[in-house]
Copies of this chain bind each other. A is one copy, B any other.
């Protein structure tokens, strides 16, 4: 059955959540989306893989990119969707309702409806956001067609409780290592225990107080955490190696070099290998177009903690924010559910800003 974009955003959410699209298996949903938007005269449609781009070309003074990913994490008994009520409030329950098919449904509805927006719009619905960056549909399109990413502002429909969440923290991973000398555990004094030598690493992590950093008026909360520890050879051997993998989430005002220096400083005296780093994205809320958007949707800007694809726009010099229905704490949760009022609220917010009505 084709997608009916004249239905309510709630019904479109229901329809696209009930079509499974776990990362790597977005084909059927991408086909339906392409089919639905190809029929619209005001949009030029481009497909690459399972990523669909649809754009107006009205010669407006400004262009806005509005994007959402169509994949989900694996289903765990939570498809098809259900209507539920919690404390008297109606919710749509099921995989993808929060992350982020409700956001995509609102975008699809407005893409069909808004034939004369105040700004030109580049709609983007992409695959493989929940897996490794190398497969990310938005990244692959940007690599091949950077020209399609020209815009004055970008909105990502990631769940933000219907508020505007600006930018995102950066993330750095490092491995902190200790070494020792192997020996038989019966004669431990002949060796040097690398796991014991890791005691100060864990002590520094346990004592670490994460900072809050204000960037363009928003408070970004940082964090430094062990995410893995391993060491040991056999039950009767003094271990000669131990490693602690740490993850540092750092405010978007910091560069990758700043983050690396901080982590090296915390673990001074130990071997530190930086294995992965992605800078965050500044909220970009100082741009006039961003301020107009925030005013129009009537939201209070908040910081986004997790890394999202807004950082890709930010890296291209395009101010970008997250704006979508659903509580981000429920993303990936088996009891994932979105308040129906938030689906309708973000639809209204986007429509009023894009049409001035």
Contacts and interface: CB of A to CB of B under 8 A. Distances in A.
B329 A185 contact: no
- Of the candidates A223, A238, A244, A276, the one having the most CB atoms from chain B within 10 angstroms of its own CB is A223
Interface residues of A, number: 48
B306 A187 contact: yes
Given A199-B203, A206-B199, A245-B235, A306 B184 contact: yes
Contact of A196 (B198, B199, B226, B237): B226
Interface string A214-256: 0000000101011111111111111100101101010000000
Interface string A157-190: 0000000000001010100000000001111111
A245 B227 CA distance: 19
A306 B239 contact: no
- Of the candidates A229, A238, A247, the one having the most CB atoms from chain B within 10 angstroms of its own CB is A229
A225 B199 contact: no
Contact of A186 (B188, B226, B244, B249): B249
A233 B230 CA distance: 12
B307 A190 contact: no
A193 interface: yes
Nearest to A242: B229
A42 to B, nearest CB: 38
A197 B185 CA distance: 25
Contacts of A193: 205, 225-226
A236 B276 CA distance: 12
A186 B210 contact: no
Contacts of A299: none
A323 interface: no
Contact of A245 (B206, B229, B232): B232
A247 B226 contact: no
A195 B306 CA distance: 21
A189 B221 contact: yes
A197 B329 CA distance: 24
A229 B227 contact: no
A305 interface: yes
B231 A236 contact: no
Contacts of A247: 185, 235-236
A79 interface: no
21 contacts: A171-B186, A184-B306, A185-B225, A185-B227, A186-B305, A186-B306, A187-B306, A187-B329, A188-B210, A195-B202, A198-B229, A199-B202, A202-B202, A225-B238, A227-B236, A227-B238, A227-B239, A228-B231, A228-B232, A230-B231, A230-B232
Instruction: Give the top 8 A-B pairs by smallest Cβ distance, nearest first.
Output: A228-B232, A186-B306, A199-B202, A195-B226, A188-B223, A199-B206, A196-B206, A186-B305
Given A186-B305, A187-B223, 5 more contacts: A185-B227, A188-B223, A196-B226, A225-B238, A227-B237
